Structure 1
Amino acid sequence: MSDNNVFNMDEHRKNINPSKLIKSALLIIALLLIIGGIFSSIFVVKEGEYKVVRQFGDVVRIETSPGLNFKIPFIQSITTLPKYQMLYDVNPEEITTKDKKRMTVDNYAVWSVKDPQSMISNARTIENAEAKMGEFIFSVIRSELGQLTYDEIINEEKSSRGSFNNRVRDRVNELLDRDAYGISVTDVRMKRTDLPDANEKSVFQRMISERESKAQEYLSQGDAESDRIKAETDKEVATILAKADADAQEIVAEGEAEAAKIYNEAFSQDPEFYELYRTLKSYRTTLNDETVIMLPSDSPYAQLLQGISE
């Protein structure tokens, strides 16, 4: 570098005013602070959420409509609350039914924040609101199920259960409104009902005994019905056979009468031939190789056998 250039740079440094540099730096910092303040004062409210504006920890306003909004930078802060419906899984608890049976019920609830100001004032956080809602749900369910028997609870087809879920929902909302928690329950549903571990084995054994007793009752009814059917069948068979036997005897009697009539008509035409026929027939019946007949010698039958004619 030439000596002239070095000399010019030195002269330029001498002409720079330090105060101007400081002012420029301060101006730049101020602009940055202004820009940062503008951006930090803007916040966006989205669909399905509440924006809570706090100042030194106190709630000054709550924005509910979607869009751009402003706050005082560095003084006011923003927190968010859900506006959409949420699902809360209620912890399983044991209850006692109307017929003194212990059972474990597991429920869930669909809920939402309807008044964020009241919710913040009384519950403060979402977790606290859910805890309080869970207490109310269990209390109401225990009271409602305590008026039903075990069979009515586990069998939805039985009319006694009716609008159980609706009754629980309405009663829980009444309690939440009473204490101004700013939340609302849309629905309460029972996921499942279980027996406590300590009672499960004994209940199952009792159920088995009841089923066996019922099965034996059905078997006894079946045996009684079978005996009744057999008795009726035997009676019908005996009636049919007796009628058939009577009909057969009547037919035989009629046949014998008709035969006797025919015999009488035939033999009356020649009595001597009929007498001979009866004699010959008696020979066939009475005489064989071992027959011994003792007759008087003057008996016509003896004379006939000996070939002696009168």
Structure 2
Amino acid sequence: MDNNKVVNMERSNDKFQWKKYMRSGIAIIAFLILVIFAISNVFIVKENEYKVIRQFGEVVRIIEEPGLNYKIPFIQSAESLPKYKMTYDVEEAEINTKDKKRILIDNYAVWRIEDPKKMIANARNVVNAEAKMSEFIFSTVRSELGKLNYDEIINDEKSSRGSINDQVTAIVNDLLEKNNYGIVVIDVRMKRTDLPEENEKSVYTRMISERESKAQEYLSMGDAEKNRIIAETDRQVTEMLAIADAEANKIRGEGEEAAAKIYNEAYSKDANFYSLFRTLESYKKTIDEETVLIIPFDSPYAQILMGE
């Protein structure tokens, strides 16, 4: 009888311990589930994004500051929107210029979300916002380039593309603001402007003709400048030669005057010697190795040669 009681007590203790472990295990599992559930509803807002909190599909909160945040489980959901600048390639399109010519344009835009609540309310998502922005850009570019002639767009010397880009950016931002899309365009740029294939040949021919005409104009201006410089140089050279000739004649006259003075002084000192000297000087100019002289007996030459 006593042995049976001992066995029953041991079995009761084992059963009690097992139930205790079961309750502890369930509590731990429940706690872990609760922690995981809580963590799954905690989220981090990054510096380059907005967090949009929805409750039953409606936007109830927009978080802009980075940090740790929490949403109500099952009731609220969180989605991210980019806060950084984005680039959007506008689809290539064909437009008509003021003079009824066709041209292909290819644009891109740099933009960002400024007011995510307005953007969601009116565009719903980024894709729709880009589509609406693209529509405004195309209509504005078509309108602005439609005010210019074909040559003003394709000719670099007449191009106004820099100012057109700024005008398009300002107009598109006005349209987006009026429609409360909550986005802002930072810059709109034309990557390229191409011509339809059927117009390329005629345009290139005209451009070549214009360049040749301009080159001929530059050549004519160069020739005119060259002729002006040559004429000016010739004038200066003529003036310099005239001045040099006048100076040379002046010096020559002064030399001849000095020589005559010296001759006169020499003649006055010894007339016979001077006559002999002048006669001998004349021999240098009139007599050479092949000269045959036939002179009268009483000529000064004959007398000097004969020692008289």
TM-score by length of 2: 0.62
Tell me what 1:15 maps to: 14
In structure 2, distance between residues paired with 1:156 and 1:203: 13
Tell me what 2:141 maps to: 141
Range 34-43 or range 183-192, more displaced: 34-43
After superposition, the CA RMSD in angstroms is 3.4
Alignment of 1:102-121 (within 5 A): 102-121=102-121
Tell me what 2:92 maps to: 92
Structure 1 counterpart of 2:190, one-letter code:
M
Report deviation, 1:109.
Answer: 0.6
Cα deviations by residue, 1:173-192 (Å, 9 ceiling, x for unpaired): 11111211111001111111
Structure 2 counterpart of 1:32, one-letter code:
L
In structure 2, distance between residues paired with 1:13 and 1:194: 93
Runs of 4+ more than 6 Å apart: 212-219
Which structure 1 segments of 5+ residues have no match? Answer: 1-6, 233-310
Which structure 2 segments of 5+ residues have no match? Answer: 1-5, 232-308
Q: Decide whether aligned partners of structure 1 residues 179 and 118 sit closer, same or farther in structure 2, where only a CA change above 3 A counts.
A: same
Tell me what 1:184 maps to: 184
Tell me what 1:169 maps to: 169
Cα deviations by residue, 1:101-142 (Å, 9 ceiling, x for unpaired): 211111111100001011111111111111110110000000
Tell me what 1:272 maps to: none
In structure 1, distance between residues paired with 2:184 and 2:192: 23
Work out whether residues 52 and 61 of structure 2, in 8 Å CA contact, stay in contact via their aligned partners in 1.
yes
In structure 1, distance between residues paired with 2:209 and 2:103: 20
Identity rate, percent:
61
In structure 1, distance between residues paired with 2:212 and 2:153: 24
SS in 1 for 2:31: helix
In structure 1, distance between residues paired with 2:209 and 2:129: 47
Q: Decide whether aligned partners of structure 1 residues 61 and 205 sit closer, same or farther in structure 2, where only a CA change above 3 A counts.
A: same
Cα deviations by residue, 1:65-119 (Å, 9 ceiling, x for unpaired): 0111111123322110000111111111111112222111111111000010111
Structure 1 counterpart of 2:168, one-letter code:
V
Q: Decide whether aligned partners of structure 1 residues 109 and 122 sit closer, same or farther in structure 2, where only a CA change above 3 A counts.
A: same
Q: Decide whether aligned partners of structure 1 residues 207 and 54 sit closer, same or farther in structure 2, where only a CA change above 3 A counts.
A: same
Cα deviations by residue, 1:245-277 (Å, 9 ceiling, x for unpaired): xxxxxxxxxxxxxxxxxxxxxxxxxxxxxxxxx
Structure 2 counterpart of 1:72, one-letter code:
I
Report deviation, 1:11.
Answer: 4.5
In structure 2, distance between residues paired with 1:165 and 1:216: 34
TM-score by length of 1: 0.61
Please tell me whether residue 194 in structure 1 is matched to residue 166 in structure 2.
no
In structure 2, distance between residues paired with 1:104 and 1:54: 43
Alignment of 1:1-310 (within 5 A): 11=10, 15-17=14-16, 19-155=19-155, 157-158=157-158, 163-208=163-208
Work out whether residues 148 and 160 of structure 1, in 8 Å CA contact, stay in contact via their aligned partners in 2.
no
Q: Decide whether aligned partners of structure 1 residues 195 and 87 sit closer, same or farther in structure 2, where only a CA change above 3 A counts.
A: same
SS in 2 for 1:163: helix
In structure 2, distance between residues paired with 1:181 and 1:165: 21
SS in 1 for 2:173: helix
SS in 1 for 2:80: strand
Q: Decide whether aligned partners of structure 1 residues 104 and 46 sit closer, same or farther in structure 2, where only a CA change above 3 A counts.
A: same
Work out whether residues 148 and 161 of structure 1, in 8 Å CA contact, stay in contact via their aligned partners in 2.
no
Report deviation, 1:55.
Answer: 2.1
Q: Decide whether aligned partners of structure 1 residues 112 and 162 sit closer, same or farther in structure 2, where only a CA change above 3 A counts.
A: closer
SS in 2 for 1:174: helix
Tell me what 1:277 maps to: none
Report deviation, 1:217.
Answer: 8.6
